[in-house]
Structure 1
């Protein structure tokens, strides 16, 4: 229940920020062009808060937080007195109307740059994208990727962490190949071309790099104990730091993960451990503790294993100064814009399945998870959504900003606007297409979470 409320709250905050900036873009440019703004609304439906300013603009928050709007004085809708006709939207030049409509998506791109600038100024704790194991027979193995190599670049995108690797690979979905630049453990840089013409990728269950046979480098975890927590099941049974666990219920342990799996499955049960302590082998019976996990009740011991030391510089804080952060924020925003356009193109050509479209439930979960991981991760997610919102609004569908811009472009070329009848037909077609996309996205959410 807490997770649900957290996701809802995170979704509302995220969408509120995105919509507020988008609509403020329209609002600010409209005012600069001399257009009278009647309403600035975050959300639709009945207002849950509103205030009329001295200039006559009504600022409000709607009950349904799935968008927003800026309502401007317009002779096509309102009865405009003669003395205010010059303040109406339709009375402005085609260039001014173009600027007013384009300002919304542009505001989203500016928001993304600002958010990423702040993120890089704060610093992003991350790990280098070092390849762990490479699965035999996989696409990565056929391209001769070597374990221990650090990924430097993917499809022309700088890869300073695994998220950047993911972006580069996502941009290549539907292509025949992707070029990956690596630095080998010996310091040699080399480029490998991965044949992805038959790449099968299920975003529901796999990461992009995992589906290619690339495993993230993780330091070896030993079956020797570094710490035993006070008052834990392990401490009560007499386990101590430096004990090496050899067997569990008579089965030899090859890895720490084997022990973890056995413990998780035996909540509340007694397990027999064979340990090595100061060169002596001993048998210890441990009653496994119980605690609530994501998949129900799981078992635990309350111990910390010893691990292999991390390579120097493997964990780092990705941080820039004020100028460097702005440059990096602008560059990453551009990368996100290019990838978003590429993905839309691949959806239209069928190279990317419509099953990948995410609806409000997926967005809410993403917002909640990123916010739970920390402020900088929430900023990264916010920037991604802001770019996507800007790009989607530029699609040439009449109910979106891009559709209005297309009408203005035709008006500029013809010297006069399209007839209201033609525009009405276009609006109906555009609305049908947008609702169809929304239906697919929401259906994907329902299938994803209900089955």
Structure 2
């Protein structure tokens, strides 16, 4: 029920804001708005407000604002000056842009409000550094706190992500300042990050993982080297061949380079230390041979709690941080969509209403701050995707009206109709792909 309620609130609010943007600017431009609809299909609830019919319709996956237009129905002579098709191209462009801009403004306002109200975040601490990753080769270790990236001061994991995005695209190493517990600050250099590497998983792809893992075993893979050696869930591996281990990173690094070699593991079990012998299996990862034990580590709850921090900004800084975050995520959305178009990113990253519903529910359960952050992200995505130059979307209409502004005459009706059919086919295909990805992601089997 919470998932359904969160989904309805999310979609209802974002669609209402988007369509109200179109409505508000249309009214200011002197255009008559006949219908304001949340949802498509048969109206379930209608009411009259002035000259506009407001309604809630059966299919809640969108909405529309219907304006007076001679291309759709005859218009009385005394109202022709209020028809959309009679307006100057600049007014048409303003009306079309108003919907995405309303979603963009909402996202910025939500981010700014959350920054001012205060929220829990994760400090920019490398909970885990993947073995032989760019971060590991640069000298970053598990437990290091990233305090500066290029010209950006870093406090949280989100700020680290944004700074990495801003530094991407150059051909020089990315300079970072890190602070190790008890050792002070030092400077390291990550290799250059190409624009093609930008994705929501960028820190992970560089080997920086937020979750601190311990050497306590949460799960043993059946039939693995660990299972054959007698390891059990709940065991803590404290040493390997006599070498005392600080955390999971140290264990993982040792196991990775000892594939096929017998090793002696010292395991803490029920308060006692037990010696076991295991031979890590050899696996191929990115063309390299590495050792695999076959265990799943537990989260280090003490370190995880220490990485959490509560942040709150003053009014000016809250707005600045909100604008910066909105701009960065808008860039990520555009870059990822462009990469998918050219085949440089997998199409399974496209999500549909099921994914939105599931994550809306999960974010609502995680707390109001997490839900607001998610709401802002979806509003931002809606703004950016609606501006793509695809007929039927706002971006397609913007393309038509810009052509009219440049040529001095409207796009021919026949050409616009062809574009609408192409746009419909593209959107139906995109929706089918999104639903296919949703079902693959969440349905068992």
Aligned equivalents of 1:331, 1:97: Cα separation in 2: 29
Tell me what 2:89 maps to. Answer: 94
Segments of structure 2 that go 5 or more residues without pairing to the other structure are 218-230, 239-246, 249-268, 273-299
Please give the residue correspondences for 1:389-408 in structure 2 after superposition, counting only pairs within 5 Å. 389-408=382-401
The alignment covers a number of residue pairs equal to 375
C-alpha deviation, 1:431, in angstroms: 1.5
Tell me what 2:33 maps to. Answer: 37
Distance verdict in 2 for CA 1:215–1:391, change over 3 Å: closer
Residue 318 of structure 2 is aligned to residue 325 of structure 1:
yes
Contact 1:26 1:103 in 2 (8 A): yes
Distance verdict in 2 for CA 1:419–1:192, change over 3 Å: same
Cα distance per residue 1:271-297 (max 9 Å; x no partner): xx8459xxxxxxxxxxxxxxxxxxxxx
Which 10-residue stretch deviates more, 110-119 or 181-190?
181-190
C-alpha deviation, 1:338, in angstroms: 1.7
Please give the residue correspondences for 1:94-133 in structure 2 after superposition, counting only pairs within 5 Å. 94-133=89-128
Tell me what 1:24 maps to. Answer: 20
Tell me what 2:295 maps to. Answer: none
Tell me what 1:136 maps to. Answer: 131
Tell me what 2:207 maps to. Answer: 213
Tell me what 1:268 maps to. Answer: none
RMSD: 3.6
Q: How high is the TM-score relative to the length of structure 2?
A: 0.74
Tell me what 1:75 maps to. Answer: 70
Contact 1:177 1:193 in 2 (8 A): no
For residue 160 of structure 1, the aligned residue among 147, 150, 155 is 155
For residue 309 of structure 2, the aligned residue among 316, 323, 341 is 316
Distance verdict in 2 for CA 1:318–1:189, change over 3 Å: farther
Tell me what 2:187 maps to. Answer: 190
Aligned equivalents of 1:116, 1:250: Cα separation in 2: 41
Aligned equivalents of 2:128, 2:331: Cα separation in 1: 31
Report SS of the residue matched to 2:127.
strand
Tell me what 2:418 maps to. Answer: 425
Distance verdict in 2 for CA 1:143–1:249, change over 3 Å: closer
Contact 2:149 2:177 in 1 (8 A): no
Tell me what 1:362 maps to. Answer: 355
Which 10-residue stretch deviates more, 336-345 or 143-152?
143-152
Distance verdict in 2 for CA 1:308–1:419, change over 3 Å: closer
Distance verdict in 2 for CA 1:12–1:306, change over 3 Å: closer
Contact 2:124 2:154 in 1 (8 A): yes
